[in-house]
Amino acid sequence: MTQTTLRDYLNGSALNPDLIHLLEEVANACSVVADRVRNGAFEGNLGSANATNVQGETQKTLDIVANDEFERTCARSPRLAALVSEEVEEVTWLKEPEAGDYLLYFDPLDGSSNIDVNLSVGSIFAVMQVEKDGDRDVLHKGRKQLCAGYAIFGPSTMLVLTIGAGVAGFTSQQNGSFYLTHPQMTVPTETSEYAINTSRYRFWDQPVRRYVDECVAGEEGPRERNFNMRWAASMVAEIHRILIRGGVFLYPADSKNRTTGGKLRLMYEANPMAMLIENAGGAATTGLVSIMDVQPTGPHQRVPVILGSKSEVERLIAYHKKES
């Protein structure tokens, strides 16, 4: 039976050929990063780089390696005007922007704290467009994303992508080519799983505490059913699980991180994942507004994140609105 490749899938869409070229380069970058992660121990790339990124977070050596690979590979796309990376403070402009050129937002290695303990990590990306000649504004709302996706480096390497209509998953074979294996990924409406870092319980606002307390209470509580808690410390791993079997992921604003806006970055973490989840039938919110309706104020802006199965997200929105 003939297998559908990523190229077949993209060529069968209505995407501009220049955007298809860029997405193929993103996929190539993900393949290279997957290989560098797999061989990190042999190449001496495990552990800390003894440096910090713009957010003040300690960088792993593979964070820097992954960023360099994304920049090198994706720069081959002639209509790519700029790169916005978690690991680089300033926007990297590759050319004088013209209307229709592309803007690539990416987290080159999400969950890198998991590398040394050999757990799943990945890459996140999204693409928007330059709106007019000479326009160097990269602070667009998530609704303007043309496409978004992630790669997950686990037992197999997968690329999960939305081009604005549905979500498709591609699995890499040993030759590095991605083949369509999950053609219509959807988030189940109902779920009995939630993912949150409970070590922060004492910092949470009341709506989040209420939700988690009700889940923990199980059959004896107001939800009258049991829930399982998951936490992988990798957004890619959490969202992939939700796309496969449902659930809700929370990294809310709390009393500890509120001054910075939250933990996760809007442009290259929250927005891409929100687009994926919404196109798979789920929902994504800060607690009070849709993530993709947030107006960015900076390339590294942080926001609260709640996303996943629609019914659970709607419940959390209701709790937040009641509290506010």
Going along the chain from its start, the domains and CATH numbers come out as 6-182 (3.30.540.10), 193-323 (3.40.190.80)
Question: What percentage of the chain's residues is helix, strand, coil (to nearest 5)?
Answer: 35, 25, 40
293: closest CA among 89, 131, 140, 136? 140
324 token code pair: 């506010």
- The answer to whether 77 is a known ligand-binding residue is no
- The answer to whether 197 is a known ligand-binding residue is yes
Q: Which of 7-11, 188-192, 229-233, 267-271 has the lowest mean pLDDT?
A: 188-192
Q: What is the DSSP letter of 290?
A: B
- The answer to whether 44 is a known ligand-binding residue is no
Q: What pLDDT does 50 receive?
A: 65
- Give me the helix-helix angle, 17-38 and 61-74, nearest 10°: 150
- The answer to whether 256 is a known ligand-binding residue is no
Cα–Cα distance list, 292 to 35, 47, 228 (Å): 32, 34, 28
Instruction: Specify whether the backbone of 98 is left (phi greater than 0), alpha (psi in -120 to 50) or beta.
Output: beta
Confidence of residue 191 (pLDDT cuts 50, 70, 90): confident
Which of the pair, 236 or 52, is modelled with greater confidence?
A: 236
% pLDDT > 70, the chain: 97
- The answer to whether 107 is a known ligand-binding residue is yes
What lies within 8 Å, CB to CB, of 68 at 6+ separation is: none
The pLDDT tens digits for 299-310 are 999 999 999 999
273 token code pair: 């994942």
- The answer to whether 113 is a known ligand-binding residue is yes
- The answer to whether 111 is a known ligand-binding residue is yes
Confidence of residue 1 (pLDDT cuts 50, 70, 90): low
What lies within 8 Å, CB to CB, of 242 at 6+ separation is: 187, 191, 195, 248, 249, 277, 282, 307, 308, 309
Q: What pLDDT does 101 receive?
A: 98
Residues 233-253: what's their mean pLDDT? 96
- The answer to whether 278 is a known ligand-binding residue is no
On whether the CB atoms of residues 127 and 104 are closer than 8 A, the answer is: yes
The pLDDT tens digits for 102-141 are 999 999 999 988 988 888 999 999 999 999 999 999 999 9
**b/e burial code for range 211-250 (CB count within 10 A of at least 16 → b):** bbebbeeeeeeebeeebeeeebbbbbbbbbbbbeebbbbb
